[in-house]
Amino acid sequence: MTLRLHNFFRSSTSTRVRAALNLKGIAYDYVPYVLRNGETRTPEYLAKNPQGLVPTLECEDGTFLTQSLAIIEWLEETHPEPALLPGDPDGRARVRALAYMLACEVHPLNNLRVLFHIRDQYGADDAAQKAWFTHWVTLTFDALETELAGSAATGTFCHGDRPSLADICLYAQVWNNRRFAIDLGQWPTIAAIFERLDGIEAFRDAAPVNQPDAE
């Protein structure tokens, strides 16, 4: 039995894990869920993942791993090559900080359940949801652009010349941004890194549009 990834094509946390698996050359079974049909709220799925969120990685021994960043750190520890984190602690701290800028400051505010909540609580229509989404993306992408453009540690990718955990989060977030047609041109360093990533098969194969359940 191989690894099984319980996920959803459009979910950016799912995109992150798919990219990490692909970069490390790890085969996995793709198990799709339709979020809006409540397929992750069933008792069967909640037993795998009490939060009812995707992704969940089902291991060969029947263990279920949750939270995309925890899954990727586990992949890094159990399948070290190619490395998704640099070898030095300062470099690792920088890559993780860049990743968490996106994973802790952008994505949590912009996922579907939050957009539904502002719609239900505050009557936010499509335009208001786009404004909300754009606000949080812009706040962090401005800071991320400053950091990436201003640091000697930035290379072809977010940190040096090998794709890292930071690039995985960036790639997934930029795909997410496309749902609201956010123009990447205002952040030239981010845009250039995204284009390079999108030219790599492991990333491209992880993109929402290239999944079996893509609409």
**Dist. CA 96–CA 51, nearest whole Å:** 24
CA 141, 182, 170, 16: dihedral to nearest 10 degrees?
140
Contacts (CB under 8 A) with its own copies, residues 29-48: none
Look at residues 206, 211, 201 and name the one whose alpha carbon lies nearest to residue 171.
206
Contacts (CB under 8 A) with its own copies, residues 123-142: 124, 128, 131-132, 135, 140
Interface characters, 153-192, with its own copies (x: CB under 8 A) = ----------------------------------------
**Dist. CA 71–CA 152, nearest whole Å:** 29
Residue 6 beta carbon to its own copies: minimum distance, rounded to whole angstroms:
14
Interstrand relation of 28-32 and 64-66 (parallel, antiparallel or unpaired) = unpaired
Among 4, 48, 92, 130, binds its own copies (CB under 8 A): 92
- Other beta carbons within 10 angstroms of residue 67's beta carbon come to 18
Q: Which residue ranges make up the site for its own copies (CB under 8 A)? A: 50-53, 63, 65-67, 69-71, 73-74, 77-78, 89-90, 92-94, 96-97, 99-101, 103-105, 107-109, 114, 117-118, 121-122, 124, 128, 131-132, 135, 140, 143-144, 146-147, 150
